[in-house]
Amino acid sequence: MLTKERQDLIVSYINEKNAVTVAELMEEFGASAATIRRDLAVLHDEKRIIKVFGGATSISDTDVNTFEPSVSAKAALNIHEKEAISKYAASLINDDDFVYIDSGTTTLEMIKYITNTRAKYITNGIVHAKKLLEKGLNTMIIGGRCKPTTEAIIGPDCIEGISKYHFTKAFMGTNGISLHAGYTTPDVDEALVKQEAVKHAYVSYILADHSKFGKVSSVTFAEIPNCCIITDSEVSKNYSSKTIIKNVNEEKK
């Protein structure tokens, strides 16, 4: 099969499926991983598909975001939804838990509702650490490079620090949730930190309002089954068949 012919077929296949993995394309077209990745890179540059970590998505059917809004901009979005999600998340903390709190506006909101003083808390959020200390909670902060737009600590030193711990619970933020791309964020360095935190947690919770579903950012940090989801509205059964999802508003109906 000629390269151009294969690439045209790949675009058609992605448009039909909405999102695919490199492994799927390898099987479908009988090509090596290196060949598929080269094709995806070319098609991405031609703006015919969107290349994401581990695969690709359709431009027409998937909202792919590479822009990271400021903390203040994100804090102003879906305020009531974040409040309901964060209240429920905080209620999950038990005595003697060792809790990782990811940087992000919903996880920051969660700190307002934390009442457990026996648990230990560790975070890569600069403001998060300050808020935890103000509440008199047992607080640790991971060392590393500071990212101004998200006020998060990232980088190799941060990842190395996280790798030494084993959390009972991790509360994570995300920019997008997709069946095929998983949980995503625009920044590679931040994704690597999130990935390490999820890897070292007994159970991880994604705190995400309804607007995050069906969206894809540049980098995947975890697959859908790797985390539970706390959200504010009913989601497709395609998601609930892959992981545990708590709709914080279901009891109000």
Q: Are residues 94 and 205 in the same domain?
A: yes
Q: Which of 13, 38, 61 is the last residue of a domain?
A: 61
Q: Residue 229 domain-assigned? A: yes
Average pLDDT over the chain, rounded to an integer: 87
CATH number for the domain including 95? 3.40.50.1360
Q: What is the DSSP letter of 236?
A: -
pLDDT, average across residues 24-38: 91
In the chain, how long is the greatest CA-to-CA distance? 65
Q: How many domains does the chain have?
A: 2
Q: Residue 66 domain-assigned? A: no
- Cα 20 to Cα 57: distance, rounded to the nearest angstrom: 6
Q: Residue 23 domain-assigned? A: yes
Give yes or no for residue 17 having a pLDDT over 80. no
Give yes or no for residue 60 having a pLDDT over 80. no
Q: Are residues 82 and 54 in the same domain?
A: no
Q: How far is CA 211 from the centre of its chain?
A: 13
| DSSP calls for 189-212 | HHHHHHHHHHHTEEEEEEE--GGG
* pTM (predicted TM-score): 0.73
Query: What does the pLDDT read at residue 19?
Result: 74
- Cα 173 to Cα 191: distance, rounded to the nearest angstrom: 11
* Higher-confidence position of 17 and 62: 17
Residue 70 CB: number of other CB atoms within 10 A? 12
* Higher-confidence position of 65 and 40: 40
CATH number for the domain including 43? 1.10.10.10
Spatial contact of 131 and 104, defined as CB atoms under 8 Å apart: no
Query: What does the pLDDT read at residue 68?
Result: 53
Share of the chain above pLDDT 90, in %: 57
Tokens (6 digits) for 223: 């697959």
> How many residues comprise the chain?
253
Q: Residue 68 domain-assigned? A: no
| Range(s) of the domain holding residue 36 | 3-61
Hunting for tokens 């027409």 — which residue is that?
Answer: 60
Give 184-211 pLDDT, tens digit per residue. Answer: 998 889 999 999 999 999 999 999 988 8
Spatial contact of 44 and 56, defined as CB atoms under 8 Å apart: yes
Q: Residue 67 domain-assigned? A: no
